Chain A
Amino acid sequence: MSEAILRVEGLRKVFGQAVAVGEVSFSLPPAGALAVVGESGSGKTTVARMIVGLERPTAGHVTACGRDRSQPARSARERRRRGGEVQIVFQDPYASLDPRQSPAAALEEVLRLHTALDRGRRRARVAELADLVGLDERQMAARPARLSGGQRQRVAIARALAAEPRILILDESVAALDVSIQAQVLNVLSQVRERTGVAYLFISHDLAVVRQVSDDVIVMRHGAIVERGPTGRVLDAPEHPYTRLLRASVPGPGWRPARRIGQEAKETR
């Protein structure tokens, strides 16, 4: 059995009285693609934030590349090493780039920090990464304000990949993109995984996108996993009523949206 590249055991996060994540465990094999599906409040983003160290778990363990990262990093060096293992791309590409820094400079900075490449090699690597995500030289030299949402998101993905992480967390990273751009980015993601062997933790609410990019899926609700399995099986023959509800909520031809019984209970806040 191959050793998991990312292992999450009994992960729990409590904010005051509210349990955001309760006892979540899963593992991700090298070059694997695991999707985490759920709606707002399911705890999926909190799980991602605990893995990258943006939230401190209340209980449980996160192990990436064989090393525990449940506690905050003690030194800049340790933080950098962790950054080299796990990278994250967020949903909003408008908030995640420095407006005064060109994409080329942003990538160069990451390479300087995370690799031992000399200046010439770094330049070549920036060009390679730009090519990988389909950005041309002009776009790489432009200020972020001149780039579209899709182009910015590709910059964010290239920047995350520049650190050569073994694990890339994509938190709703394609949700805000136009359909035609989303397709381009999804293809880039498949290609990158085949070429580099990076593993994806793919957080999404979009079941069709999840089908396209993941091998396995876990379905979360109210901070707990309600169903897990190979993506095809879970989407074709969902076992948990909540997974079935999610599946039935996806519009398509002949779809009749239905008012749910007991909706008031969920909506009362």
Chain B
Amino acid sequence: MSDPINRRMSDLLDISGLTVRLPLQGLPRTVLSQVSLRVGAGEAVGLVGESGSGKSMTARSIVRLLPTGAHAEGSIRFGGADVAALRGPALRELRRRVPMVFQDPRAHINPVRTVGDFLTEALRAHGRTPRRAAEERAVGVLEEVGVAGGRRRLRQYPHELSGGLLQRVMIAAALLTEPLLLLADEPTTALDVTTQAEVMAVLDELRRERGLAMLFITHDLELAAAVCDRTAVMYAGRVMEVRASALLHQHPLHPYTTALSAARPRLDRRAERLVTTPGRPLSAFEAPHGCPFAPRCAHVRQRCHDTRPDLLPLAGGQVACLRAEELRQERAVPHE
């Protein structure tokens, strides 16, 4: 069988018009609506949003790990291959090329097996790699993620390692399958800040050295801005804005991005009161007919309630807001 995945495509990942429905309490509920997103080879893209925005569901869709009963429309292409059409060995190959790292490493590792078992299992399962060679490779990837003394680590159990160390073991496991795209779902959220910095440094180096692409899921706009080339902001199962991270952080175009950025307290000064948005973040199936952010938006007009805005190109990125152009000009030209 020929390899359906072409790793030299300029758009390694191309998600287009992805809509996902899940059965909730017996009814099909929309959790993702018309999501379009691209990740180039070697590129780091941040996927930022609050609870229920659909960021994890987007990542799971890519490797076809949606819950049972899920129904997906639209297309996902990885290295040119249609992900929905992959079967058997081709699907396994996709999952090897696109590993996932989760928020809580302890929930994704068998507590009664050693780190060595965990790291060498996949290599040895196919009967391709003898034990000694598999362990050599495991020690190699551990070193790559900054874990020294790999031989000793292989004999340890998950409970003997700190959260930061265990998360690096998870990243090392992802590296064993020669990945092209790493799906990192809040990989540092449960870690201390200094440990977060270390794990981010490891991911950053791997990206540079291996040319690894990354979809980095986080609730932290500043973290995404700091480590990703581009950032996509999601709300209620939709992509609201995608732009170069620095631009998105400094000059957000979508009112939701602006609100998200303003709500976060600042390290360098104290605000009398934080600028808040009324209400709470919505899931896709709770969102109103028009713009999902309309009920909470400070710039809302009647047409925002009537028409659902598409994700359209603007100022070097894409924005899903009917008033984006207008608001941009208001901001660019201050009133005298």
Contacts and interface: CB of A to CB of B under 8 A. Distances in A.
Interface string A183-224: 110110010000000000000010111011000000000000
A164 to B, nearest CB: 24
Given A148-B280, A186-B265, A267-B164, A257 B273 contact: no
Interface string A228-243: 0001100110000000
Contact of A212 (B204, B249, B270, B276): B270
A120 interface: no
B274 A257 contact: no
Contact of B200 (A184, A207, A257): A257
Interface string B262-289: 0111111111011111001100000000
B148 A208 contact: no
Interface stretch (B2-10, B21-29, B118-126, B221-229): B221-229
A140 to B, nearest CB: 16
A180 B276 contact: yes
Q: Which 7 A-B pairs have the closest CB atoms?
A: A183-B263, A212-B265, A39-B192, A257-B200, A257-B201, A255-B226, A251-B226
A183 B276 contact: yes
Contact of A211 (B192, B198, B220, B270): B270
B162 A267 contact: yes
A253 B249 contact: yes
Nearest to B220: A251
Contact of B193 (A180, A181, A182, A249): A249
Interface residues of B, number: 52
Contacts of A257: 196-198, 200-201, 204, 226-227
Nearest to B49: A178
B47 to A, nearest CB: 15
B293 to A, nearest CB: 11
A257 B270 CA distance: 25
Contacts, number: 137
Interface in B142-165: 146, 148-149, 160-165
A259 B201 contact: yes
Given A40-B192, A267-B162, A269-B161, A180 B259 contact: yes
B162 to A, nearest CB: 6
A30 interface: no
B225 A211 contact: no
A246 interface: yes
Nearest to A175: B189
B220 A180 contact: no
B50 A180 contact: yes
B192 A180 contact: no
Contact of A250 (B205, B267, B275): B267
A180 B222 contact: no
Contacts of B270: 211-212, 231-232
Main secondary structure of the interface of A (DSSP, over half): helix
A1 to B, nearest CB: 25
A187 B146 CA distance: 41
Given A208-B265, A252-B222, A252-B267, A183 B274 contact: yes
A248 B249 CA distance: 19
Contact of A208 (B161, B246, B267, B280): B267
A207 B267 CA distance: 6
B302 interface: no
A26 B88 CA distance: 63
B267 A179 contact: no
Contacts of B68: none
Nearest to B195: A39
B29 to A, nearest CB: 17
A183 B194 contact: no
Most buried by B among A184, A259, A267: A267
A179 B162 contact: no
Contacts of B240: none
B197 A211 contact: no
21 contacts: A39-B192, A39-B194, A150-B280, A180-B263, A186-B265, A190-B273, A205-B192, A207-B193, A207-B267, A208-B265, A211-B266, A211-B267, A212-B274, A251-B222, A251-B226, A257-B204, A259-B205, A260-B198, A269-B160, A269-B162, A269-B165
